[in-house]
Amino acid sequence: MASKIPPPSNVTKDGGRAAALAKALDEKKAPKEAAKKSLIDPLRDPSTYSPDELTEMMKEGEVPANFTQDNLVKFVVGEITWAELTGLTMQEAYSFAEIAYNLFEQGKYEQAQTIVEGLVISNPYDGYFHGLLGAIYGRKGMHEEAQEEYTIAIDLDPTNISAFVNRAEIALQHGEIEKALKDLKKAIDLDPKGEKPFGIRARALAAATASVLEEALKQSGVDIEAAAAAQKKPAGAKPAAAKPAAAKPAAPKKK
């Protein structure tokens, strides 16, 4: 099972920084030694930049000229994000996200990861960016990191159905059936009519998981119909005559 993610829903094409990045990724004609290195590192913790480095970024045009010391103070104390400090608009951020999504779909996970990790640093409170990063990590087999990003995405946006489904898939791969079913139930509840792609996927995964569990129980000698009937037995009914205890089936092994 491979992680999936819906494309950004509020992306607009423009001729700004995102368009420049797209052009650079497509062309790659200039030799590396001739390319000017950006002062902003998308993987670096923004709080580690010194005032001198920020000043140099302003000179090079990487930070808007309206950047002020007051804004730096606000960033340090958490009143504004790195994107707000550097002047990155949400329109530009989602344009970057669209580029990353297209790279993700093409299997260019390293490039997509670099862009999205930068977006997460710039906009740490946007659940979509965390979900997209989780999908990239999932495709790369970084399951622990992917689950963490999906969890953040869900915490920021409890209606993020794709994050629930993708997190459930990873749980299933590790044999964590109970966790997976809880996430799938959440996803199904978010799409009660089964109209959304991830809602349909959640139902299919839940049904497949239930079928596998039922087959495993049958092979272990459990009478599923009798167990179901016992669950429906009216309260206060007399228990059946005691029978010799049967050996309990082993818990399903983790894959």
Please tell me the class of the 148-213 domain. mainly alpha
Distance, in Å, from the CA atom of 128 to the CA atom of 152, rounded to the nearest integer, reads 10
Distance, in Å, from the CA atom of 104 to the CA atom of 114, rounded to the nearest integer, reads 11
| Residue 77 Cα distances to 42, 49, 80, 89, angstroms | 20, 15, 8, 21
- Quick one: CA dihedral 39, 41, 42, 48, positive or negative? negative
Closest listed residue to residue 138, CA positions, set 118, 113, 156: 113
pLDDT score at 146:
96
Q: Look up tokens 């044999």; give the residue.
A: 175
Backbone angles phi, psi at 123, to 5 degrees: -130, 75
Chunked in runs of 10, what are the mean pLDDT values of the chain (255 residues)? 65 52 56 52 65 65 60 73 76 86 91 89 90 95 96 95 94 91 93 90 88 67 54 50 39 42
| pTM of the complete model | 0.63
Map out the domains of the chain as residue ranges.
Answer: 10-26+40-124, 148-213
Instruction: Express each pLDDT in 18-41 by its tens digit.
Output: 556 656 666 554 444 444 556 666
Closest listed residue to residue 152, CA positions, set 128, 117, 180: 128
pLDDT score at 137:
96
pLDDT score at 41:
65
| Residue 109 Cα distances to 5, 8, 181, 232, angstroms | 13, 17, 28, 50
Distance, in Å, from the CA atom of 255 to the CA atom of 252, rounded to the nearest integer, reads 9
pLDDT score at 224:
47
pLDDT score at 252:
41
Distance, in Å, from the CA atom of 137 to the CA atom of 116, rounded to the nearest integer, reads 11
53: its two tokens:
């480095």
